[in-house]
Amino acid sequence: MEKILEVENLQVSFHTYAGEVKAVRGVDFALEKGETLAFVGESGCGKTVTAKAVLRLLKPPFAEIKKDSKIICNGKDVLNLTKKELYEFRGNDVSMIFQDPMTSLNPTMKVGKQIMETLLLHGDMNKAEARKETIRMLEMVNIPGAAERIDSYPHEMSGGMRQRVMIAMALACEPDILIADEPTTALDVTIQAQIMELIKDLKERLNTAIILVTHDLGVVANFADRIQVMYAGQVVERGMTEEIFRESKHPYTWALLNSIPKATNELKEELYALKGTPPDLILPLEECPFAARCQYCMPICRERPSLETALSDSHKVSCWLTHPKAPKVTSYYDREVK
């Protein structure tokens, strides 16, 4: 398969009054044409920052992408694009839908105009063509009465409708990659199902690759081809969806999978709960970032983090438990399945 995005050793720091917060600490990944890759993890683990870095949406003096980082998309070196090239790049190559459809749309502009703006900026359409195209986009995302809705303001629409507008806007220039940052977190389950179905359908029709940022493992299980579990600004485990759900090897992945109630749980049975909070990213981290919360923590974990071990072509994990000399442990989850 053709790789359309390659990220190598991505490091992002934020400069705050308290000091330098290393939000992303050496993330590598590649994205192939037409696949869906999910970033999973708790809040503050660097999922969104990684996604935003790909679009260069992080403001420079405050956020810094370190020199060794490399982002190559469609043969373009994203980190060295000029301002003009960047405008071309955003929307044409990669675009993004945000978590909160209520605040991501301009409340003073008609939704149609907001979509047309993108089209006029990127394509060589005149206004009438852009309007026609906008109506077509709105129909594509299943907005009923698109020809009238084009002149609605965002406040006249429901949350689900606004998210559809956001999707239409993001897809207006037919990007190769769509970054969906928690696209359904603010929505109801029934609307969530509709939106995810829409994204899946559009992905198949337009062959767009998707980066899905979410903490909802249910959504991930149904929509992602590959999963990358992030913790404290690093990727701790990655693999195909099946591998993560069935054969995960990292205790953090186990913890995430175990904290959701399952059909096999007794009523009011105690759920597995991960204790503590993620490490403070201002402090240097020499140990395995998960060591402090890990129930299988060994002395070596406190000394240095494990390197990434490949278990299969796609399944990789950074944990000392995969070392041949480490004790054999099975997750709580495994016990329950068998």
Partner 1 sequence: MGNENIMEAQDLCKFFKVGKKQVLKAVDHVNLSLKYGETVGLVGESGCGKTTCGRTMIKLYEPTHGKVFFEGEDISRLHGRQLLAFKKNVQVIFQDPYAALDPRMTIGEIISEGMNVHFKLSAKEKEQRVANLLDKVGLNSEYANRFAHELSGGQRQRIGIARALAVEPKFIVCDEPNSALDVSIQAQVINLLIKLQKEMGLTYLFISHDLSMVKHISDRVGVMYLGGMVELADSRELYEQPLHPYTQALISAIPLADPEMGKRQNGMKLKGEIPSPINPPSGCKFRTRCKYAMEICKEEQPKLLEVKENHFVACHLCGDTHGGKDAES
Interface residues with partner 1 (CB under 8 A) are: 42-43, 158-161, 188-194, 196-197, 215-222, 241-242, 245-246, 255-262, 265, 267-275, 277
Give the position of tokens 């945000």: 98
Residue in 74, 55, 281 with CA at minimum distance from that of residue 181: 55
CB of 273 to partner 1, least distance (A): 4
CB of 226 to partner 1, least distance (A): 12
Give the position of tokens 């089209």: 119
Question: Please, are residues 39 and 213 in contact by the beta-carbon 8 Å criterion?
Answer: yes
DSSP letters spanning 59-125: -TTTEEE-TT-EEEETTEEGGG--HHHHHHHHHHTEEEE-S-TTTSS-TTS-HHHHHHHHHHHHS--
The smaller minimum CB distance to partner 1, of residues 74 and 258, is found at: 258
CB of 189 to partner 1, least distance (A): 4
**Please, how many CA atoms are within 13 Å of residue 326, restricted to the half-sphere of its CB?**
16
CB of 274 to partner 1, least distance (A): 4
CB of 296 to partner 1, least distance (A): 16
* 38 vs 199: CA distance, rounded Å: 14
Q: Which residues of 21-46 are buried (b: 16+ CB within 10 A; e: fewer)?
A: bbbbbebbbebeebbbbbbbbbebbb
* 178 vs 165: CA distance, rounded Å: 14
The smaller minimum CB distance to partner 1, of residues 256 and 281, is found at: 256
Q: Is 5 helix (H, G, I), strand (E, B) or coil?
A: strand
CB of 138 to partner 1, least distance (A): 16
Residue in 127, 136, 134, 308 with CA at minimum distance from that of residue 229: 308
Residue in 4, 8, 15, 5 with CA at minimum distance from that of residue 69: 8
98, amino acid identity? F
Give the position of tokens 């006249």: 156
CB of 77 to partner 1, least distance (A): 35
The smaller minimum CB distance to partner 1, of residues 240 and 300, is found at: 240
The smaller minimum CB distance to partner 1, of residues 259 and 295, is found at: 259
Question: Please, are residues 319 and 306 in contact by the beta-carbon 8 Å criterion?
Answer: yes
β-strand 209-214 against 36-40: which pairing, if any? parallel
The smaller minimum CB distance to partner 1, of residues 117 and 216, is found at: 216
CB of 13 to partner 1, least distance (A): 22
The smaller minimum CB distance to partner 1, of residues 270 and 313, is found at: 270
The smaller minimum CB distance to partner 1, of residues 178 and 196, is found at: 196
Q: Which run of H or E residues covers position 187? A: none
CB of 205 to partner 1, least distance (A): 18
The smaller minimum CB distance to partner 1, of residues 19 and 261, is found at: 261
The smaller minimum CB distance to partner 1, of residues 19 and 218, is found at: 218
